[in-house]
Structure 1
């Protein structure tokens, strides 16, 4: 394509990327305040995982549809669904409504990820040229990431948390215009007949992951009872049935042969691990800063900004470096090692730690993700080849979301359980257990009006309310530290897992696509 047409098409994809990135960064900063108002900390993790769960199912479906029919129609549809769902999120009057609206938003997000990211490989078959053009998308991602946390904190503090969802509206309209007007309708080969979709496979994925999610959520509250064991059994049975079905299905949503490829299997495993660490940091660092360290939403947003901004800066640096290396694999080792340092830095962080040092840990985490995520995508595209490019890209993104879903669910479960135990112990020592219901939900650490009410009640009853509130804050900090320590362990395992990726050199064009009629 000529330069002008390539530029306008990439602007359309970049605005789509900005739509997803802005939503992720803005919501993470606003979430503690949302929970404080809607009063549903037990569903805190579900605001993230409902989005991820529906995305995981829709990404491979629309990745395959995009391979078959061309990606442009699905990119347009995804922008509409995502933007409308954002409005529903802003209208939520309960945590359950918000969780359901986020699930709908995840369908749109899955459609976006399954099609928009693969558009770049369609437009630029040469890996080196593609990496250069990806700088534009990385810049758009960086703008959204730079603005997102601070914008989320500012809007939450001064105009209310609902506005963080409405901010998607202008970006969605802009994305729709550029994609509709300038993105060419490309597909790989001309097809005849009707395409068959693997709906049984999609249902089995939903059952396996949904049951696993519920099992992780309910285990700390109910233990290994009939209900939780049934969920675990349902997840295992569905996963086994999925594997058996996909090996026999000629139009499988999950091509089993890809998982049998050692190179792709290694990359897929790293995608899961990277998603686990990334989403744990994105969703629980803001809670640590606001609930644990007492920062305002605006200040917490500023602290998160280096994490998300340096994902983009790292991606840009990575693009300049890997094309000059005979073996690009060391970038994975460096990236995951930086993630280890970042997670451990947050684990040892205290309220007294200098803000500058905390910002450095956030910066290192972003830089590490910037070195890891684009390389996993390009490595998988090159390894899979043109025939499976769309589904390989979609699978990688899906598996990253699965890792994020498991990470947020597991971290959320640990935080909820450990925080409640710490608060109960502190209240028992002061013989104030009648206030357990008020302090067992961390929303009290963010809701200033609720704090004043509880402090007044404790003082009237002869207790040191400020001390008990501080004990609750320390319990939350300790709980999040343990949750993020698990993310650090996963990052360490990722460094070790990187050795399984065969040497990759990014060069040479792939087969061209054809223009759809």
Structure 2
């Protein structure tokens, strides 16, 4: 491709990362308004979980589709799915349609988030140039996460929550157009037969398992148990099948590398813990302090800013400290945030909330670069690409599972609060998280309702704290230096 073509395709990949970054934080400021408008506080965890579920089951499939029809067509198709999902979410008038549209968006995001890194590997042969481009992609994501809370808060307060999804449509269509016009892919290499059975097993297995987890406390125990057991059985069959397939969906051989397993475990526990802070910090401000969506979203801005700082200071520090020390530093930063929120009283003002959340942003940015480099080194040059892709999938899975778990924790606490306090209903708690809707609630019951919500938030933060303590222990086990 010519220099202009490469530049335009790179811009298309940057736009894809901008949309991914925007959605990762803009949705958090819109959730209170969405659940108030669509009456679905019991589905609050699903809003995050079903997006991550779509990403989880589709990521390995998109990679294999790219091998068959080419990364160009696959990238454009994933963008189209993301745009359509955004459109349908904005048009949703009930929570069920909204969640279906969000699942479609998640499927698109699975390809939109992973394919640019694979495309960059083919477009940029020079390692230094490729590293520079990957830096641009990461920076685009980080900057979008900073802008997301501001844009989301403004759109929700000035227009409506629907516009946090409509904003993706022009960005996505521009990215598709740039790829259509400027991306000229080389000859598609022949690959072994597509693993249809493996794809079926992992998609259905993960879906059943995660549905079972999300339904904890919401339906009969035997239904939950059946879903989880069926999901686990299918995943076991998946791993048995993949071991003998010439073109596996997930390269099982990666799990025989002890160092890589350690890296993956650290990604799982740290990303699962960070999700709690990133999702529930704005809701704390809106539900407990009665702030607007804009102000609630601003609690994440310091977090996102220092995330960028964390990614920049890793390389200078690597020359002075070993991996175990550096990873411990990052994990402790996230721990300060989760433990601080777990201990914070209900009356904690918004400035302290933002300061407490800042530590987790630095820790996550720091750990991401460190672990991503470590994954590639531990995998060796031969397996660097599949290991990088697998680490992306594992991070999504960790967040998918923990989004479901956090949703269950909150649902159980809310149900307990309704049962113990006469006069308070789930519909009233639906309105609590949105400042405008909360004005219609009985003022005498607001302290009790906020106490119920606060207890749920605290339990979520204690769960995140436990994950980080485990991660620190795993760091000492797998990283001797």
TM-score (norm 1): 0.85
Question: 2:290 corresponds to which residue?
Answer: 294
* Distance change (3 Å), C-alpha of 1:495 and 1:380: same
The answer (yes or no) to whether the contact 1:380–1:393 under 8 Å persists in 2 is yes
Q: Does 1:238 align with 2:234?
A: yes
CA RMSD of aligned residues (A): 2.8
Question: 2:52 corresponds to which residue?
Answer: 52
Q: Does 1:490 align with 2:467?
A: yes
* Distance change (3 Å), C-alpha of 1:483 and 1:8: same
Distance 1:91 1:343 in 2: 35
Q: Does 1:259 align with 2:236?
A: no
Question: 2:196 corresponds to which residue?
Answer: 199
Q: Deviations over 1:91-139 (max 9, x none)?
A: 1111111110011111110111231123344455666654444332233
Distance 2:62 2:265 in 1: 22
Distance 1:418 1:272 in 2: 25
Distance 1:158 1:383 in 2: 49
Structure 1 spans left out of the alignment, 5+ residues:
428-432, 456-465, 505-517
Question: 1:285 corresponds to which residue?
Answer: 281
Q: Does 1:276 align with 2:264?
A: no
The answer (yes or no) to whether the contact 1:132–1:319 under 8 Å persists in 2 is no
Aligned residues: 481
CA offset at residue 387 of structure 1?
A: 4.4
The answer (yes or no) to whether the contact 1:135–1:319 under 8 Å persists in 2 is no
Q: Does 1:436 align with 2:425?
A: yes
Distance 2:184 2:339 in 1: 45
Question: 2:213 corresponds to which residue?
Answer: 216
Question: Aligned with 1:276: secondary structure?
Answer: helix
Question: 1:148 corresponds to which residue?
Answer: 148
Question: Aligned with 1:409: secondary structure?
Answer: helix
* Distance change (3 Å), C-alpha of 1:18 and 1:235: same
1:352 to 347, 351, 354: 347
Distance 2:317 2:70 in 1: 32
Question: Aligned with 1:196: secondary structure?
Answer: coil
The answer (yes or no) to whether the contact 1:275–1:404 under 8 Å persists in 2 is yes
The answer (yes or no) to whether the contact 1:72–1:186 under 8 Å persists in 2 is no
Q: Does 1:480 align with 2:477?
A: no
Distance 1:111 1:325 in 2: 37
Question: 2:377 corresponds to which residue?
Answer: 382
CA offset at residue 158 of structure 1?
A: 1.1
The answer (yes or no) to whether the contact 2:210–2:228 under 8 Å persists in 1 is no
Q: Deviations over 1:256-309 (max 9, x none)?
A: 111111122122222222331232222222222211222210110111122233
Distance 2:251 2:81 in 1: 27
Question: Aligned with 2:246: secondary structure?
Answer: coil
The answer (yes or no) to whether the contact 2:80–2:172 under 8 Å persists in 1 is yes
Question: 1:19 corresponds to which residue?
Answer: 19
Distance 2:253 2:154 in 1: 48
* Distance change (3 Å), C-alpha of 1:362 and 1:326: closer
The answer (yes or no) to whether the contact 1:211–1:235 under 8 Å persists in 2 is yes
Structure 2 spans left out of the alignment, 5+ residues:
none
Question: Aligned with 1:252: secondary structure?
Answer: coil
Question: Aligned with 2:300: secondary structure?
Answer: helix
Query: Within 5 A, what are the aligned runs for 1:89-108?
Result: 89-108=89-108
CA offset at residue 453 of structure 1?
A: 4.8
Question: 1:469 corresponds to which residue?
Answer: 446
The answer (yes or no) to whether the contact 1:16–1:112 under 8 Å persists in 2 is yes
Q: Deviations over 1:380-412 (max 9, x none)?
A: 233334544443222211111111011111111
Distance 2:328 2:5 in 1: 37
* Distance change (3 Å), C-alpha of 1:328 and 1:450: closer
The answer (yes or no) to whether the contact 2:292–2:435 under 8 Å persists in 1 is no
Distance 2:6 2:316 in 1: 20
CA offset at residue 434 of structure 1?
A: 4.9
The answer (yes or no) to whether the contact 2:61–2:249 under 8 Å persists in 1 is yes
Query: Within 5 A, what are the aligned runs for 1:449-468?
Result: 451=438, 453-455=440-442, 466-468=443-445
Distance 1:197 1:329 in 2: 40
Moved more, 132-141 or 273-282: 132-141
Distance 1:282 1:325 in 2: 30
Question: Aligned with 1:161: secondary structure?
Answer: coil
TM-score (norm 2): 0.91
Distance 2:49 2:167 in 1: 21
Question: Aligned with 1:220: secondary structure?
Answer: coil
